[in-house]
Amino acid sequence: MSPSGLCFRFGMNLHGKLLERDAAGRPVTVGLVGAGKFGTMFMAQARLTQGMHLVGVADLDVCRARSQLRTAGWPDEMYAASSLANAHKKRSTLVTDNAAALISDPNIEVIVEATGVPALSAENRRLAGRDVCRELACQCSQEAKHAGHR
């Protein structure tokens, strides 16, 4: 069953839950590893999703990551955090080349692995020691392809 089917079947309203978290001052904290095509699509949605805080973006090419944030509509001041602690405190975003720092931050609840490199993805999952949102993204992407969306 697709993730959206599961949400419907069990009556989950993820949008409502995000709004509740936001109202309580506890947005879902997310770390993004990879600022390529999928990462940039995620950035564009994260900026507009109330109740979600993109704490950090890790990419080997920090300049490209900043450029992709700009492309996704992020104002420069939204990703000007000087550290993870600063990003959490000011609800801004850190851009870094240190994926391990994002993955090991106990205050980041969700890691989105968007490198597109299977060996790197496996290593990031090993470092995380917890679920990493790679499979769901791949599954949704495959479902979109089969539905005729690219």
- Region for 117 from its dihedrals, namely left if φ exceeds 0, alpha if ψ lies in -120 to 50, beta otherwise: beta
Distance CA(138)–CA(60), nearest Å, equals 22
Q: What are the structural domains of the chain?
A: 29-146 (3.40.50.720)
Where does 1-148 have alpha helices with state H? 3-9, 14-23, 37-48, 62-71, 84-90, 99-104, 118-128, 135-146
Kindly report, residue by residue over 105-119, the tens digit of the pLDDT: 999 998 888 887 655
Give the pLDDT confidence score for residue 34 in this predicted structure. 93
Kindly report, residue by residue over 10-24, the tens digit of the pLDDT: 555 888 888 999 999
Distance CA(61)–CA(47), nearest Å, equals 21
Please choose, from the candidates 51, 69, 25, 66, the residue with its C-alpha nearest in 3D space to the C-alpha of residue 110.
51
**pTM (two decimals):** 0.76
